A and B are shown apart, each in its own frame.
Chain A
């Protein structure tokens, strides 16, 4: 990525659009960059916490990217990781406090995982790899894009885990009672973290099958 440019770029130039859409597929933070796996296993038992977690992470990556990018020329290189951590922690605590104030039941389900956003590798990874070397607007888009890519995967995993593990989606029963009467049972394994890892593995497999560019030589 080139850094400073003198001519002004359009707000949604093709390059910027790519920042948003790249992480959805070819540069997905979970399946391609293999970052943020731990939280993806923990919060994907049900759809609702997965979506809230994805939104929370998107807000934090976008705004920490934006802030760090604004400050990037003034941050002393020797303490840059500390500065990044302070910015990320402030944002995470703010998100946590807002969740506790306005969506209490979700905040209870996410409990420790919101605090763990601080250590989510996606955020530090994007700060170091992108925001420290790019202008605020592209950095912001990069944050949103990576948040979306993370969220997309979380939602796919949560969809299968909730459907097969609990027979519900967003808490509503979708597998009809008649099927249970006929002997169908929910798969308890889907609720446990190992099946989340296997689900992610299957998604990586499918994705690489369709995108030959991702296959290492």
Chain B
């Protein structure tokens, strides 16, 4: 039999050793992990701009090649910072944490927004990063728009823990390709966003079909999350878009 004192000492030492080991590992591995996240972010931005060959190993050179300008905007749509130098990943816009900025916005505190401008086949592409909430956890992505901010060139979505095969399908090209060619403004220039429509776009009146995509079956709450993310984030960029359309 062990005494209580032995048991408590044993537990205390075990826990301290475990904590020390884990902190050490976290500190040593952090630079590598952050690197991977940055590369993943670049890949997302490139994929939304239809640079579909982007993968983990070529994301950095492709990002430097296609992205020409990175802007930091304030809530009124004024440009706070313009970055055109290389490497593009050092831009203040790229380093902004969108999750924090959107949280500041929801708390009515001052916030900043990043905007990426790419040049592909002679055309200017505006890429807006997005972040929102799915069913089980965060979802995020990017939406690439034409230079008049009306038509969608492409989107990219990813998630942490949406149900594989249902909500997780938002991260698949099949769903993302539906957004290509849709518009976020109607003919009168009013903001409409893009809706994920349960039961399919075919249910909408014909004039609105250009603002909708087919929802994923069995993934209503993730689809709602995508709707909210698109509307909330695009709305934040409206002041800038109105000035530059």
Q: Is the CB of A86 within 8 A of B14?
A: yes
**What is the distance, in angstroms, from A112's C-beta to the closest C-beta of chain B?**
6
The verdict on A192 contacting B165 (CB below 8 Å), with A94-B21, A111-B160 known, is: yes
**Nearest-neighbor residue (CB-CB) of A107 within chain B:** B36
**A93–B22 CB distance below 8 A:** yes
User: Considering the chains assembled together, what is the distance between the CA atoms of A191 and B169 in angstroms?
Assistant: 13
Binding site for A on B (CB under 8 A): 2, 6-7, 10-11, 14-15, 18, 21-22, 25-26, 29, 32-33, 36, 39-40, 56, 160-161, 165
- Chain B residues in 8 Å Cβ range of A78: 2, 7
Chain A residues at the B interface, C-beta cutoff of 8 Å: 74-79, 82-83, 86-87, 89-90, 93-94, 97-98, 100-102, 104-105, 108, 111-112, 191-192
Query: Chain B residues with Cβ under 8 A from A191's Cβ?
Result: 165
CB distance from B20 to the nearest CB of A (A): 10
Pair A82/B10 contact, Cβ less than 8 Å? no
- Find B161's partner among A74, A90, A93, A112 (CB 8 Å cutoff): A112
A77 CA to B39 CA, complexed, in Å = 48
**Are A76 and B7 neighbours in the complex by a CB distance under 8 Å?**
yes
CA distance A89 to B22 in the complex (A): 10
Asked whether, in the complex, the Cβ of B40 is within 8 Å of the Cβ of A104, the reply is: yes
Contacts of A90 in B (CB 8 A): 18, 21-22
A83 with B14, Cβ < 8 A, contacts A76-B7, A97-B26 known: yes
- For the complex of A and B, the 7 pairs showing the least CB-CB separation, nearest first, are A101-B32, A104-B36, A76-B2, A101-B29, A76-B7, A90-B18, A100-B33
Query: Once the chains are docked, how many angstroms separate the CA of A111 from the CA of B138?
Result: 14
Instruction: List the B side residues contacting A76 at CB < 8 Å.
Output: 2, 6-7, 10
Chain B residue, CB-CB nearest to A83: B14
B22 interface neighbour in A74, A87, A94, A101, Cβ under 8 Å: A94
Q: How far does the alpha carbon of A93 sit from the alpha carbon of B24 in the complex, in Å?
A: 12
List 29 A–B pairs whose Cβ atoms lie within 8 Å, in order of A's numbering.
A75-B10, A76-B2, A77-B2, A78-B2, A78-B7, A79-B7, A79-B11, A83-B10, A83-B11, A83-B14, A86-B15, A89-B18, A90-B18, A90-B21, A93-B22, A94-B21, A97-B25, A97-B26, A97-B33, A100-B33, A100-B36, A101-B33, A102-B32, A104-B39, A104-B40, A105-B56, A111-B161, A112-B161, A191-B165
